[in-house]
A and B are shown apart, each in its own frame.
Chain A
Amino acid sequence: MNSPLDPTRTRPIVPPGTAFDPALFNETMRSFGHTGFLGIEYCAHGHNWIELALPWREDLVGDVETGVIASGPIVSLLDNATSMSVWAFRTTFNPQVTLDLRVDYVRAATPGKTVIGWAECYQLKRSMAFVRGIAHDGDVSDPVAQAAGIFIQVEAESWARMPEATA
């Protein structure tokens, strides 16, 4: 009941509309899948914003000459933070998918440093949520990346399912 998702079941075990707990949600997502592989950590949240962290790791490097982390994990960090900011703003967990996401890579992340992903939902509509986010490695005024995106609400039944069902 405490877990918003169960990877072994066909749908979220917490029904849409259940109160959203960002720390608990991230803890669950960290226990499997891509979020678990990247090791994304929960930091903080407010009424419409979320802050997560992505620790630097050698196997996430995108450029071996410099040791700079690949841009893919930064998109994943911002995708997670922006999507969670929507649920924070709604206050409830409702299935949604990413419609589009744009990321500007302002500068290379510093090798070895944890990347912080901060995101807010700045406008919430019945079916769409407008989000923006920022990634930095310690100083928010010196960002690594800036993101803008839109999430769209979907039916719970089509949101998550058993891997076996599609194999």
Chain B
Amino acid sequence: MTDASQSLADRLPPYARAMGMRIEGLLDGAPLLAMDYSDRAMGRPGYLHGGAIAGLLEIAAIMALHAALEEEDAKVRFKPVNISVEYLRGGVTVETFARGEVIRAGRRIANVRAEAWQADRTKPLASCWMNFLIKPKA
């Protein structure tokens, strides 16, 4: 793991760690999140819970924004304003990946999209957009 992905991995919050999320390096320039299948991610029997998928998408979006802000990241705090998730396929009991894409990071607002998939990246389980409010650190 590169130093950049290690410092991002250090920022994974307790919720992400409890769910078994980790950073697997970079994919096309953005952090790649992975989550092993576990009982704690299951909703209806045999499928991932929609909230667990949304939680993984959010962490992927947050990590993508940390990475995209580069040196600015240390000077700001950001918080999620909203998320809209579309569910495309049921998630089954295998490893799940997610990657965020920062569409725009302005001075006050960042717009980020994220996708989650399993064996085949071209067959996403779910996608989302998220907006973040960026504030200078007090």
Indicate if the CB atoms of B14 and A64 lie closer than 8 Å.
yes
Indicate if the CB atoms of A71 and B46 lie closer than 8 Å.
no
Provide the bound-state CA to CA distance between A80 and B49, in Å: 9
Task: State which residues 137-165 of A face B: CB under 8 Å.
Answer: 158-163, 165
What mask results when residues 71 to 96 of chain B are scored 1 for a CB within 8 Å of chain A, else 0?
Answer: 00000000111111111001011100
Indicate if the CB atoms of A76 and B40 lie closer than 8 Å.
no
Q: Is B45 an interface residue (CB 8 A)?
A: yes
> Chain A's nearest CB lies how many Å from the CB of B89?
10
Chain A interface residue count, CB cutoff 8 Å, equals 51
Contacts beyond the supplied A34-B49, A79-B54: 16 A-B pairs with Cβ under 8 Å: A32-B39, A33-B43, A34-B40, A37-B18, A58-B14, A61-B15, A71-B58, A72-B55, A76-B54, A78-B51, A99-B86, A100-B84, A100-B85, A101-B50, A105-B82, A166-B92
Chain B interface residue count, CB cutoff 8 Å, equals 40
Q: Is B107 an interface residue (CB 8 A)?
A: no
Indicate if the CB atoms of A108 and B43 lie closer than 8 Å.
no
Q: Is A24 an interface residue (CB 8 A)?
A: no
Indicate if the CB atoms of B79 and A60 lie closer than 8 Å.
no
Q: Which chain B residues border A166 with CB–CB below 8 Å?
A: 46, 92-94
Q: A77-B51, A98-B50 are in contact. Are A59 and B18 (CB under 8 A)?
A: yes
Main secondary structure of the interface of B (DSSP, over half): mixed
Q: Which chain A residues border B41 with CB–CB below 8 Å?
A: 33-34
Provide the bound-state CA to CA distance between A102 and B59, in Å: 16
13 A-B residue pairs with Cβ-Cβ distance under 8 Å, sorted by A, are A7-B42, A9-B45, A34-B43, A34-B52, A37-B18, A62-B15, A63-B13, A71-B83, A72-B58, A103-B84, A158-B90, A159-B44, A160-B44
